[in-house]
Chains A and B, each alone.
Chain A
Amino acid sequence: MKMQYLRNVVSLRLDSEKCIGCGRCLEVCPHGVFVLAKGKSRIVDRDACMECGACALNCPVDALDVESGVGCAVGLLNTALGREGTCCGEKRACCCSE
């Protein structure tokens, strides 16, 4: 079953003018957000984006932009409270056991 998180909240942006259709974003995206059509990448499932940032980092022409991070309430709460670190801290990773 496909898991779906909140609608219309993701910060992902694609600049089609810049896109050269190399397909790197399709390769790295773990949620099938993009398809290649007419030599350009296109966002087809925006709400599936988890903002991991892989597409933007791997886009050779800077056509993608996303405020990347980890979707973890513990981490965001820690940040809000001015405590150290993201979700897991450097060593002890809460859910990073896989």
Chain B
Amino acid sequence: MLTPGGLETTAGPLVRVPTRWTWRDYLGAMAMRWGIGRDRYTVPPGLYAVGTPGEASPLVATANYKLSFDHLRRALAGLDAWVMVLDTKGINVWCAAGKGTFGTEEVVRRLAAVAAGRAVKHSTLILPQLGGPGVSAHEVRRQSGFKVVYGPVRAADLPAFLRAGMRATPAMRRVTFTLRERLAVVPVEAVQRFVPALVTMLLFFLAAGIGRNGYRVAMEQWPSLAVAVWANFLAGVVLTPMLLPALPGRAFAVKGAAMGLLTGVALWWLGAYRPVEGAAVALLSIAVCSFLGLMFTGCTPYTSPSGVRREMPWALRLQIAGAVAGLALWFVARFV
């Protein structure tokens, strides 16, 4: 990953990092999308060189999650810069800032540890904007003498930011949640929800034998049960994030419930259920998708804790009530 090509700099010999991704970097980025081996995807903290940096070159900080580091070094292609990697325990900038590991203390400590004052003469440190929740710029200045400038949200905007004399356009300062970005968080969610969905399906298979027809008939119901479970999985884990802005309501439990209603109606229609059974499937779909919607709040970059705290109590009660009613109806349908 890091070419060993040592570089003699004003800060001593440093590792010069390539700005192009190799197939291993792409493979690693892909694995991260699916949450595979994330705990070990790290870069050693310290100072690195991009190009041939000198005393006047910009000094940019990032987290030691390798994907954060990779995005930064790729963005710096063709430039000369110093990259200071903080020890954030392998967590990305924003999440680490929220936990305080990408924080004032670590910034000050790392500046001293890498002798940043010897590398550059300008005393300006560029932090990613999303490091803001963990770092107090004026405290860093007081404790280290380095003046903090917050760079753009996305590393890709850094060259334009630097060209403009370290000024960000309003768009560079905004966090977005585009379709592409929403889809990016889906795989990790899907992996996490897969086993619970599988267990749910198996429990329904077992429970299907309860009733006046016993297991002889139950086996015939397995395909439609499997379809119902995985349709809800698809709806709650993939479609809700995808269609998020188009779903009605502001509360995530409401958005999820709308998705669940759609799923339930579709299942009822396709499955040609009897009314009791159809109502059970619809109620269960609404409850499950609403719950999954609420759980999705953690994956979005715009939900406030106050907001989640407001919707969660009533949402959970209704979801539990809906699930209980749905299950009761489903069992009643076994006997009528």
Report which A residues bind B (CB closer than 8 A): 1, 3-7, 9-11, 24, 26-32, 48-55, 57-58, 60, 67-77, 86-88, 90-98
Contact = CB atoms under 8 A, between A and B. Distances in A.
Interface string B247-275: 00011100000000000000000000000
B99 A86 contact: yes
Contact of B129 (A10, A28, A60, A70): A28
A72 B308 contact: yes
A32 B174 CA distance: 7
Size category of the binding interface on chain B = 35 or more
B72 to A, nearest CB: 13
A30 B92 CA distance: 16
B12 interface: no
Given A6-B251, A28-B150, 4 more contacts: A10-B304, A26-B173, A76-B312, A92-B38
B95 A93 contact: yes
A92 B298 contact: no
B310 interface: yes
Nearest to B29: A97
B303 interface: yes
A98 B38 CA distance: 11
Given A29-B173, A86-B99, A97-B185, A48 B250 contact: no
Contact of B304 (A9, A55, A92, A96): A9
A84 B54 CA distance: 46
A5 B136 CA distance: 27
Given A9-B310, A74-B295, A90 B89 contact: yes
**A interface, by DSSP: helix, strand, loop or mixed?**
loop
B137 A58 contact: yes
A91 B295 contact: no
Nearest to A48: B302
A34 B325 CA distance: 46
A52 B95 contact: no
B188 to A, nearest CB: 5
B142 to A, nearest CB: 10
A92 B192 CA distance: 12
B89 A91 contact: yes
Shortest Cβ-Cβ A-B pairs, 6 listed = A72-B298, A54-B132, A71-B303, A28-B132, A96-B95, A95-B299
A79 to B, nearest CB: 10
Contacts of B305: 51, 67-72, 76
Interface in B171-196: 173-175, 177, 184-185, 188-189, 192
B134 to A, nearest CB: 8
Given A28-B132, A30-B173, A50 B304 contact: yes
A50 B130 CA distance: 13
B132 A74 contact: no
Contact of B302 (A5, A24, A28, A88): A5
Interface string B212-251: 0000000000000000000000000000000011000011
A97 B182 CA distance: 12
B301 interface: yes
B168 to A, nearest CB: 8
A57 B149 CA distance: 15
A77 B185 contact: no
A91 B39 CA distance: 6
Interface string B304-326: 11111111100000000000000
B35 interface: yes
